[in-house]
Structure 1
Amino acid sequence: MDEILRLFPDSIKEAIQRKVQNRWSELQEIRFRLNQPIELIYGTKIEWIYHDIPDSQDGIFVLNQLSHFSLYRMEDELREGYITIEGGHRVGLAGKVNTLGGTVKAIQHITFFNIRIAKQKLNVASPIIPYLYKEQYMNTLFIGSPQTGKTTLIRDVVRLIATGWKDIPAKKVAVIDERSEIGGSIKGVPQHNVGIRTDLMDACPKAEGMMMMIRSMSPDVLVVDEIGSDKDVQALMEAILAGVVVICSVHGQTLQEIKKRPSLQQLFQQDVFKRFVLLEKQQQPGFVKSIYDQNGINILQKKRSFSHGVDRSTSIHR
């Protein structure tokens, strides 16, 4: 975790180390707010550091570490509200917004930092990958609220498809990673293992990226995280008409809720998705509650269980 600890002044770094000790594998977020206690989030558990309260000088130190003492180089990242650092960790930023013509130009006076700790979990998707394959991979939608592990699962699905599993050969996978979360790329190089046949477009708007990848990389499978806009939906439809399998995610809690969203109506009217993977927030991310087929039947209850990852309620938890 050196790439995270280096962001903080020595006194705060030492306070975090004392508090976390040997629990780095459980830590999900460090919330660093000026003039407030430091918040440590472990799944559903929260702890606080009440001494060593960050001040404005500490905030400047963190910004200098993030930007390597050159904020102007981060203009695009500041507009988006986050920075991806070595190791694939993402630092969310908030403060006073500077607008131009009604759109966000940058975030000024940054006083809130959210360090989201990236952890690749190899084989986390091994129990569910057979559900997504039937002679070929099927169009799949992952559904879950924030911090349920959608990206963690999708990342490993990408790796398995692009590397192959059991007797299923590797396929060409194109990933459009708009928020740099799937690959956690630095200068275009993924920090996570995304498989040997994966091509990744980093920090690119989803709709444009999907069209670019179809034209240039001839993928078998197209993967994109957190769809929602009309442009996203139109690009997905273009990909499907081009014969490409799509795997994506969306924020939500139930399949019924997702089906009511106006922007997604075309996808459901065309019966695009053949698999729906529903996640539920638990102590550890990646808890698969249900896997529905295109008829709304929970096939997770009908298939044989896997020796690793299925609890007695038939849900998968990795």
Structure 2
Amino acid sequence: MADKQPIPREQHGSSWPEIIRFFHSDLRNRLAKLPLPFRSEIIEIRCRVNRPVELNCGKRHVFLTEDGGVTDDFREAGVMSIDELRKLISALTTGSYYALEAEIAQGYIGLPGGHRVGFTGRVVQNAGKIQTIQHISSVNFRIARRVAGIARPLLPLLWKDGRFLKTLIISPPAAGKTTLLREIIREFSYGVSQLNIPGHHIGVVDERSELAGSYLGVPQLDLGPRSDILDACPKEEGVYLLLRSMNPQIIATDEVGREKDQQIIADIINAGVSFITTAHARNLTEAMFRPGLRRILENGSIERLITLSNRFGPGTLESVKAGAAGPELWLQSQNGGEHRD
């Protein structure tokens, strides 16, 4: 029997005060003045030394003014000084920057609530590997939000003859593929009684800590009661670890497309396990230009191909196909309507 799920809301996640508490006081006070409806649109807060604070709202990018307003003209926004950036970094790392060097060497750190902070600056290498990043010049605060219900219309297309169909989600960057993947994992982990979908054991390789948003090993985002998560684990090692030790029914991971990913997917299938994953591409044509991804698409491994875009905002569902060479099962029309076969 499927488990009862939380009552769907448009968005789940941290409240605005919970999000901005990570920032130093000056910037926190400016962010607190942003209009209520606008806050829910922000997906990234980008801070750069001697540049204005940029707010990424998906299709729209604006700058934060000194009085807590927004403007499209960067000349109307104040700039962040080196001292302000240092205060921000200290606040985000709770004054323990050097204790987080191993994480920072990956280019980001995780925060409570599933939020993620990326850094750029001067890279310090040791034996050809990044040891840490010093003299930080840019900070990107990525807000973790769960958009409830977005996967539900797709579930009948991903479930056939009592099994989950092997699925690939493709989209350009920041078009919602990780958000959709997270929701599909959650739905199948809980199970959906209305569709006669039982709860599934799902092994998740969360290589970039984006799916579960784990903090100190504890998932901050809901992936369901039957999901087992490997956080910050390379895809290749993680998949085989899960196959050996956790007996998953589905393996979920983000961003395939390298040459060796074809063999990883083949080994998942040979183990009798289904999978769902994602890849960067604007459409099927662009995906076919990536050699590793083309082989995955051409060898028949993919039973459902979902394409997303930013056309009507992040997460616009463009199409669902029965594999790369199969028929369209769902198609977005030019005016935003939909067509289902």
SS in 1 for 2:32: helix
Deviation, structure 1 residue 283: 5.0
Q: Paired residue for 2:310, among 281, 294, 297?
A: 281
CA contact (8 A) 1:92 1:114 kept: yes
Which of 16, 23, 46 is equivalent to 2:61?
46
Match of 1:263 in 2: 292
Q: In the aligned structure 1, how far is the partner of 2:22 from the partner of 2:298? A: 48
Give the aligned residue type for 1:190: P
Deviation at 1:252, TM superposition (A): 0.4
User: Distance in 2 between the 1:281 and 1:163 partners?
Assistant: 29
- Superposition TM-score, scaled by structure 1 size: 0.91
Q: Distance in 1 between matches of 2:52 and 2:309?
A: 29
The answer to whether the 8 Å contact 2:150/2:180 transfers is yes
Which among 154, 174, 181 is matched to residue 147 of structure 1? 174
Partner in structure 1 of residue 188 of structure 2: 161
Which consecutive residues of structure 1, in runs of 5 or more, have no partner in the other structure? Answer: 303-309
- Which segment is superposed worse, 22-31 or 179-188? 22-31
Q: Which amino acid aligns with 1:144?
A: S
Partners of 2:33 and 2:310 in 1: CA distance:
28
1:73 aligned partner: 99
In 2, Cα distance between equivalents of 1:11 and 1:154: 36
8 Å contact 2:47–2:138 — kept in the other structure? yes
Runs (5+) with no aligned partner, structure 2 = 1-15, 67-77
20 and 146 in structure 1: CA distance in 2 versus 1, 3 angstrom threshold? farther
- In the alignment, what sits opposite 2:252? 223
Counterpart of 1:105, as a letter, is Q
Deviates more, 1:37-46 or 1:100-109: 100-109
Whole-Å separation in 1 of the counterparts to 2:104 and 2:338: 44
Report the equivalent of 1:108.
134
Please give the alpha-carbon distance, in whole angstroms, between the structure 1 residues aligned to 2:205 and 2:289: 26
Secondary structure class of the residue paired with 1:23 = helix
1:164 and 1:282 mapped to 2: Cα distance? 31
Kept in 1, the 8 Å contact 2:202–2:249? The answer is yes
Deviations 1:190-218 (A, max 9, x none): 11111111111111111111111111111
State, as a whole percentage, how many aligned pairs show the same letter: 35
Q: Summarize the alignment of residues 118-267 of structure 1 with structure 2, pairs less than 5 Å apart.
A: 118-135=144-161, 136-165=163-192, 166=194, 167-267=196-296
Q: Verify the 8 A CA contact 1:210 1:236 in the aligned structure 2.
A: no
The TM-score, its normalising length taken from structure 2, stands at 0.85
C-alpha distance in 1 between matches for 2:55 and 2:308: 23
Secondary structure of the residue aligned to 2:50 is: coil
Which residue identity lines up with residue 125 of structure 2 in the other structure? T
Q: CA RMSD in A?
A: 1.9
Alpha-carbon distance between aligned partners in 1 of 2:176 and 2:120, rounded to the nearest angstrom: 23
Shift of the 301–35 alpha-carbon distance from structure 1 to 2, 3 Å rule, reads: closer
Cα drift, residue 43 of structure 1: 1.9
Helix, strand or coil for the counterpart of 2:160?
A: coil
Q: Tell me which amino acid in the other structure corresponds to 1:202.
A: D
The answer to whether the Cα contact below 8 Å between 1:148 and 1:282 also exists between their aligned partners in 2 is no
Q: Which amino acid aligns with 1:314?
A: H
Partner of 1:300: 330
Q: Which deviates more, 1-10 or 30-39? A: 1-10
Q: How many residues align?
A: 308
- For 1:297, the aligned partner's letter is P
Residue 47 of structure 2, aligned match among 32, 42, 51? 32
Letter in 2 for 1:39: E
- Take 1:140 and 1:206, find their aligned partners in 2: how far apart are those partners? 17
Name the structure 1 match of 2:70. Answer: none
- Quote the offset at 1:269 in angstroms: 3.9
Q: Say if 1:43 and 1:283, in contact at 8 Å, map to a contact too.
A: no
Task: Indicate the residue corresponding to 2:30 in structure 1.
Answer: 15
Range moving further from structure 2, 64-73 or 192-201: 64-73
What is the rounded CA distance, in whole Å, between the counterparts of 1:259 and 1:141 in structure 2?
13
Partner SS for 2:45? strand
Cα distance in 2 between the residues matched to 1:24 and 1:187: 27
Check 1:75–1:230 CA distance in 2 against 1; reply closer, same or farther (3 A cut). Answer: farther
Specify the code of the residue in structure 2 equivalent to 1:77: E
